[in-house]
Structure 1
């Protein structure tokens, strides 16, 4: 079966997503869309120049929304903001620009007849995911944001460094908004087959600092190079791969939770049909409070975006 993906927005994040997809041979057909015609055309040619040295081939189409009709997945990576415009690392600083662009793009996606799975990377991702669902009319389980899949990875990285182990050996989740109100749900985190709280006492880990590292990890990267792209691109591509392969993997992605009335990050089983099953974690009272507060914050911003 032919695997067809679309990427909308070929800035730093979009091009990193495309590079990972092409290099790893995840798609047979790839549609690249960007308002900057010369840039997206140059990207396509550059990728075609790379293919003779790759182990797989990808057919590339540029700036044709009609080609999205039979795509399996569309990844929204559009967005533009400068460090000087966002000194406090507030992803909602991106909302005025991205809201306008997403409304236009979502309408074009709807008009194309697309009926696959839509992945949103665009920030503020929980609000943007909601906008995409509302405008395209796709089922809620078919519109997913990368959410705290990246924040959870940053937590795993920080814990792994603190214990000198591979971050993939750390399990657990960051929940809520992909933004300043997200938090590490330490009750879910296990490492070396132990609850993290017990191990932290034994090994002298500062969980408050690790939580801050996860929450502000993007800020450290932005200060150094003025944007982030590799980490979130890896999260987006992993999510797309899980969907394409019907892997039914549990991931902390932004999905619509009825009990909170909004999109937010909470682990769910992801497969070919998008959100296949939602988990119900046994969180502490403090974690439940933080999650409700984060949900309330997201809902307020969604109302502003309408």
Structure 2
């Protein structure tokens, strides 16, 4: 059976996802789409030049939405990292990315695509909601990477304190992929014990670790002005769970009927997208934080959907014309 994936937006993150897909042989056919034609064509040629030295072959097409009709999965990496650098926050992209996503969603719908849509584009939860509403795809077929990355950053932070492998830390960050997300410490276990017990024994400051998970991308952004490898790893992890029908438990952004919006909470993921939800035994404080995070997402989504649809313009033109509007969003959500 042929496996086919489309990636829309082949910038730092989209290209890193494409690279992982190609070198691991995760898919047979890969459709790359980007408004920067020269760049995406160059990436495709670069990947094709790598084929002779790889153990598997991937067929690559460029800038053809018709190729998405029979794709198993589409990954949306649409965004503008240049706008993030203005304020170092995810919500700085909201004007440009929401407008771009509305245009892309219409093209996806017109292509006849009926597979699984994975959203990286920031702010992730809101863009996932826009895609689902405008494509008309079933809610369980549209997911955002959400706090899958934030959970990994929490695992890295905890593991570093204990000098162990991050994969030895289990547990979740929940809520928005943004500043209102939080580490649900009631879910975290390490060294065979709940994290609270280990924290008392080893003198760990859980508040500091929670903050490190939240702002992990900030450190990367300061160093190289974009993030790509960790989010690409999270994306390919989610993609592979879909393609292999793995039935893996993952904290991704998914539609939660109790909040009537998309928010990150662990679900079982397989070939049909979100298969079933889990039921965490959260503390009262964690339940309150989750509800507050969901409310933030829902409120922002309503505001963004009321913005008029602009023409598809170049990144620089859009950034300049909407810079004042972006700066008025007065939020503190850190970078990817």
TM-score (norm 1): 0.98
Would you say how many aligned residue pairs link Structure 1 and Structure 2?
Answer: 305
CA shift, 1:83, in A, is 6.6
In 2, the alpha carbon distance for the partners of 1:20 and 1:77 equals 14
Please state whether the residue corresponding to 2:238 is helix, strand or coil.
helix
Match of 1:224 in 2: 223
Match of 1:35 in 2: 35
In 2, the alpha carbon distance for the partners of 1:212 and 1:233 equals 22
Please state whether the residue corresponding to 2:22 is helix, strand or coil.
helix
CA shift, 1:90, in A, is 2.5
Structure 1 unaligned segments of length 5 or more: list them: none
CA shift, 1:85, in A, is 4.5
Please state whether the residue corresponding to 1:233 is helix, strand or coil.
helix
CA shift, 1:280, in A, is 1.4
Q: Deviations over 1:168-227 (max 9, x none)?
A: 010000000000000000000000110000001101111111101100000110000001
CA shift, 1:82, in A, is 2.5
CA contact (8 A) 1:8 1:76 kept: yes
CA contact (8 A) 1:172 1:190 kept: yes
Match of 2:171 in 1: 172
CA shift, 1:84, in A, is 6.8
CA contact (8 A) 1:83 1:226 kept: no
Match of 1:59 in 2: 59
Match of 2:114 in 1: 115
Structure 2 unaligned segments of length 5 or more: list them: 306-336
In 1, the alpha carbon distance for the partners of 2:47 and 2:99 equals 30
Give 4+ residue runs of structure 1 displaced > 2 Å after superposition.
81-87
CA shift, 1:79, in A, is 0.4
Q: CA RMSD in A?
A: 0.9
Q: After superposition, where does 1:57-96 map in structure 2 within 5 Å?
A: 57-82=57-82, 85-87=85-87, 89-96=88-95
CA contact (8 A) 1:257 1:264 kept: yes
In 2, the alpha carbon distance for the partners of 1:206 and 1:126 equals 29
In 1, the alpha carbon distance for the partners of 2:234 and 2:103 equals 25
CA contact (8 A) 1:175 1:265 kept: yes
CA contact (8 A) 1:83 1:227 kept: no
Matched, 1:25 2:39: no
Matched, 1:250 2:253: no
TM-score (norm 2): 0.90
Please state whether the residue corresponding to 1:43 is helix, strand or coil.
helix
Match of 1:103 in 2: 102
In 2, the alpha carbon distance for the partners of 1:199 and 1:81 equals 38
CA shift, 1:31, in A, is 0.0
